[in-house]
Amino acid sequence: MAATAARDERVMPKGRDLWITLGALMLAMLLAALDQTIVSTALPTIVSDLGGLNHLSWVVTAYLLASTASTPLWGKLGDQYGRKRLFQASIVLFLIGSALCGLAQNMTELIGFRGLQGLGGGGLMVLVVAIVGDVVPPRERGRYQGLFGAVFGVSSVCGPLLGGWFVDNLSWRWVFYINLPIGVLALAVIAAVLPATGERERHRIDYLGTLLIVGWAVGLVLMTTWGGTRYDWLSAPIIGLLAGSVVLIAAWLLVERRAAEPVMPPALLKNSVFSLGAAVSFAVGFAMFGALTFLPIFLQVVHGVSPTLSGVYLLPMMLGMLLSSIGSGQLITRFGRYKVFPVAGTPIIALALFFLSGLDEDSSTLTMSLRFALLGFGLGLVMQVLVIAVQNSVSYEDLGSATSGVTFFRQIGGSFGVAVFGSVFSNQLAGHVEDLARVLPPGFDPAAVQGNPQLLDRYPADVKQGVLHAYAQSIDSVFFWAVPVAAVAFVLTWFLREVPLRATSQTPDYGEGFGGAPTVRSSRHEIERALSELMRKDAKAFELYDRLAAISGVSLPAGSVWALCRIAKDGTVAGQDLADRAGVQIEQGRPYVDRLVDAGYVQRQDGLLAVTPSGEAVAARLFAARRDGLARHLEGWAPEEHPELADVLTRLAETSLGDEADGEVLGPERRPAGQGA
């Protein structure tokens, strides 16, 4: 296994190549993450240009549904056929969708192209996460994955702001065109630098289950979009959509029971923590994406701010979400308790939505900012914690599915939220405009006003005030009807069973906490991510090697222990190469190697260092001690019952010892007393 670990390390990009690869991956993830939020501040202008006010919500919903449904397929196809080519294909698909969105001439075209863009975006999200695991050494994954979590945070804050800036200074079409140069750059770098690494895994892909998910989700979203607007709620089309969706849900549950690798294992739905977590996550997505879609309309139409400034107004919401996401994660790590956060966060969300339902055309900037910040703060308290609660309650076999499942329901909730909010908004606006008919001029177009509020300046003051009040009342109704959804989530959180936290559950994934799109990681990848984060919290390297030597009964200084592990992994290594790995001059490291030669653990000949049988035996004891130490982090996961989990421990133990030391272990400050260069 040590030879395998050393070979794996050699094929990984290092130094400049690693940072270039990671930079391209972060660019790709930024593209997909931005496209969930960047459109929000451009929507009023898009509707003004293309028409189709009643279909506004589908510009967001089409992307969310397509990216959510496609992520499991991209993940398993990447495992099976190699991630590099699939990743390149997902970038190309995303860029084609982006270009077509920018060229769309009507709302129907834009919605269809947004779905195509979402298919590519789903691949970007899931494959970036998987590729990071392929190219980054296990000991360092926690640090680098934190960078990708920061990408979600940046996209959450910058998305609405960038969307508004493009509308004001270029055109709404640049919301989509901006993806092209960034995506082409990422594609070129990936093609040149990313190695075709990663183990291939055979899968029996659940195509039918995925199609059924898309079917019932689209059916229910269409029902909520058309109900009360295009058709009466009790009309044949709406009842037909409901009945058809129920049939598709029943068929999906039957298919998932028989599927070899189901998208959503039915056993998960029987787990009360998962079921409750999924329901609360649905409600959170409902509130978050609905707010992001309709708050810019309120700001741009009712308060007459520019698209760019509407993005600035939303910053308190995003910053509140980041603050509470990071803060709750730190508190959970310190105290090991998590239920209090969703119990506190859901009523804050409900209260914030209620306050938002009271906004009008006279609300001050301070009043709006405080309410936006309160909503973001509540959302941040809940999203990440639900992932932790679910991970902590399931068996190892279901860990990956449970993690992706809870974020899947958040995205589906977002799709429904935007659709329901859109239906309520359209109904209310139509009613209020009808009430104003006696004072409105002939041919008045609400969609035109939505895209260009300055048009109202042409009308008398009483007409302008009436229209602004109609918009304010309509959007207030949207948030008022969202309050019961948050209230139901609050009730459900009280039934969320709190289980003592496993060590691996105390390593929050901030990407999930910032509301990123669902990822699809296997149970193995989830454990590796958590262990790599825990390994970052180890003692300093020389203290770790000193401790391992003491546990293994090896009378060697830390520098010699590091050198022995490195040589044992390579079998034979040149002295200069060993010094380069240690980050020291060869003269600085020689005393540590001399100790190994004197003890008979290593042979030196013609500048080459080779491990001896006795050295291999000692190295095996050191690797075993490291493995036992890592195993303590997996208390409750029963690695002895899961060969794959046992293999993770062994591989991580061997890859994490004898890696690059940057001079910390073999530097002169750690030289044993009496030893010279």
Q: What are the tens digits of pLDDT across the range 598-643?
A: 888 888 887 788 888 888 888 888 888 888 877 777 766 666 666 7
Q: Phi then psi for 519, rounded to 5 degrees?
A: -110, 160
Of residues 386 and 639, more confidently modeled: 386
Choose from 273-287, 392-406, 574-588 the range with maximum mean pLDDT.
273-287
Average pLDDT along the chain: 76
Q: What percent of the chain has pLDDT over 90?
A: 3
What integer pLDDT is reported at residue 385 of this predicted model? 78
Task: Give tens-digit pLDDT for 217-248.
Answer: 788 877 877 776 677 778 888 888 889 889 98
Find all residues with CB under 8 Å of 386, minimum gap 6, and list them: 277, 280, 281, 284, 342, 406
Q: Are 34 and 63 in contact (CB under 8 A)?
A: no
Predicted pLDDT of residue 669: 45
Q: What is the reported pLDDT for 525? A: 66
Q: Which of 25-34, 173-182, 568-577, 601-610 has the lowest mean pLDDT?
A: 25-34
Residue 31 has pLDDT above 80, yes or no: no
Instruction: Please enumerate, as own/partner, the contacts of 590-594 that have beta carbons within 8 Å and a separation of 24 or more.
Output: 590/677, 591/559, 591/671, 591/672, 591/675, 591/676, 591/677, 592/557, 592/559, 592/560, 592/562, 592/563, 592/666, 592/671, 592/672, 593/560, 593/563, 594/675
pLDDT computed for residue 144 by the predictor: 65
E strand map for 223-273: none
Write down the pLDDT at residue 513: 46
> Of 157-161, 237-241, 389-393, 665-669, which has the strongest mean pLDDT?
237-241
Q: Where residue 301 falls among pLDDT bands split at 50, 70, 90?
A: confident
Structure tokens at 339: 């239920």
| Chain CA centroid to CA 644, Å | 25
Please, which pLDDT band fits residue 537 given cuts at 50, 70 and 90? Answer: low
DSSP 115-178: HHHHHHHHHHHHHHHHHHHHHS-GGGHHHHHHHHHHHHHHHHHHHHHHHHHHHHHS-TTHHHHT
User: Which pLDDT score, from 0 to 100, does residue 33 have?
Assistant: 74
In the structure, what pLDDT confidence band is assigned to residue 265 with cuts at 50, 70 and 90?
Answer: confident
Taking alpha carbons only, the member of 174, 24, 36, 35 closest to residue 84 is 24
- Specify the 3-state DSSP secondary structure of 460: coil
**Of 638, 378, 649, which Cα lies nearest the Cα of 493?**
378
Q: What is the mean pLDDT of residues 547-557?
A: 83
Over range 379-407, report the average pLDDT: 76
Tokens of 625: 């001690």
Closest CA to 265 of 387, 396, 388: 396
Give residue for tokens 């109900």. Answer: 227
Q: What is the pLDDT of residues 396-425, one digit of tens each?
A: 767 767 777 777 788 788 777 877 887 788
CB 353 within 8 A of CB 479: yes
Tokens of 13: 């990009």
How far is Cα 195 from Cα 12, in angstroms, rounded to an integer?
A: 8
Question: What per-residue confidence (pLDDT) applies to 677?
Answer: 26
Beta pairing, strands 602-605 & 608-611 = antiparallel
Q: What pLDDT does 347 receive? A: 92
Structural domains of the chain sorted by starting position, each given as residue range(s) with its CATH number in brackets: 15-196 (1.20.1250.20), 207-260 (no CATH), 265-500 (1.20.1250.20), 525-666 (1.10.10.10)
Question: Per-residue confidence at 99, pLDDT binned at 50, 70, 90?
Answer: very high
C-alpha span between 292 and 420 (Å, rounded): 14
